[in-house]
Structure 1
Amino acid sequence: MPRIPVTAHISIDADEIEERFVRASGPGGQNVNKVSSAVELRFDVRNSPSLPAAVAAKLERLAGARLTSDGVIVIQAQEYRDQPRNREAALQRLIELIREATFVPKKRKPTKATYASKVRRLEGKAKRSGVKAGRGKPRLD
């Protein structure tokens, strides 16, 4: 059972991936009618022992329309005329999707405005206020 490395901590078992080969549409000439070069890759997210629960949950959200009601991600690849390249393309798309699900954004640390920045802001507002006040009608005192 070979394992497919996804990240430094996550690898999925090759047996968890199911591939079906179908005839592709598009370029290929007469070959396209004879050879099943397109790949339909299926990966069961909900029943995968390789993925942590948090990653699996995020992966289901990211999969969007590629996710079936049973929790299976279906990826189709038919860009290339030959089956091995389509298999590799579908697998790479799955790996990229899982990597995207493992990404955790950094927490934002709120910072306070410095005293100098507050002073600059207030000086700018006062200057702008003076410019606008100078646009009014002159007063007769």
Structure 2
Amino acid sequence: MGSSSRIVVREMMQLSLSSPLPISWLRIRLPSLHLRPSIRCASSDSDKGNKVSSRLSHVQELLQQAEHRALSADHGPTPKITLDHVTVNFARSGGPGGQNVNKVNTKVDMRFNVKNACWLSDRVRDKIMQMEKNRINKDGELVISSTKTRTQKGNIEDALAKLQEIIDAASYVPPPPSEEQKKKIAKMAAIGEQKRLKSKKVLSDKKAFRRSKNSWD
């Protein structure tokens, strides 16, 4: 403890023997001691409860959205893509294959305009745009190439199959969560929130201990 701190403590003891310490004196002298009194608001506990409830409510909201999405989805057959929905270009294939590779255009470059595909629902189109954003050009075309076979027909079928797999994945909607799954997810969210608050409390106590230790150096 420094000399100035000793003087302040001695003044406090002398004043406490003669008369109670005035509030104004405490306000002036406490900062000189580098004391940090812990002030706890009465609403702190309620705030924690609000945080927990808000996080759990957010999880419940996500579950409700998943249930609504599953119930409102079109459960009809998955749309099928045909040659009428795409544009096909041919080019020479690279790689091994002998002299025939240099003579026949068997490589297929298939373009599917996702933005103009009105035969798909808005949800499926948006999903494809999100899934394949790295392969869709500025005109909204999804480009698929195929050199799987040495024939144009085989590569066209392969490119159409690849596009159909993308449409099937975008059209799939997970089934709504069951009551058991809802309870399990809510329980896991509550456990995670308790762990978060516990680790936050440990870190707060560690910082408070360091402050109280350094204040008397």
Counterpart for residue 128 of structure 1:
none
More strand by share: 1
Match of 1:20 among 77, 89, 93: 89
For 1:84, give the aligned amino acid.
K
Instruction: Give the ranges of 4+ consecutive aligned residues of structure 1 lying more than 4 Å apart after TM superposition.
Output: none
Is 1:18–1:42's contact at 8 Å kept on the other side of the alignment? yes
Which deviates further from its counterpart, 102-111 or 78-87? 102-111
> Where in structure 2 are the equivalents of 1:22-101 lying within 5 Å?
22-101=91-170
Is 1:12–1:50's contact at 8 Å kept on the other side of the alignment? no
The CA deviation at 1:69 is 1.5
For 2:93, give the aligned amino acid.
A
The CA deviation at 1:110 is 1.2
The structure showing larger relative contact order (alpha-carbon pairs under 8 Å, at least 6 residues apart) is 2
Identity, % of aligned pairs?
A: 38
* C-alpha RMSD of the superposition: 2.0
The CA deviation at 1:12 is 3.9
Stretches of structure 2 that go unaligned for 5 or more consecutive residues are: 1-75, 185-217
Is 1:59–1:98's contact at 8 Å kept on the other side of the alignment? yes
How many residue pairs are counted as aligned between the two chains?
107
Is 1:13–1:50's contact at 8 Å kept on the other side of the alignment? no
Change in Cα spacing, 1:9 to 1:19, as seen in structure 2 (3 Å) is same
Stretches of structure 1 that go unaligned for 5 or more consecutive residues are: 1-6, 113-141
Structure number with larger C-alpha Rg = 2
Counterpart for residue 111 of structure 1:
183
The Cα offsets for residues 85-136 of structure 1, whole Å up to 9 and x where unpaired, read as 1111000000000000001123334126xxxxxxxxxxxxxxxxxxxxxxxx
More helix by share: 2
For 2:100, give the aligned amino acid.
N
TM-score by length of 1: 0.69
TM-score by length of 2: 0.46
SS at match of 2:116: coil
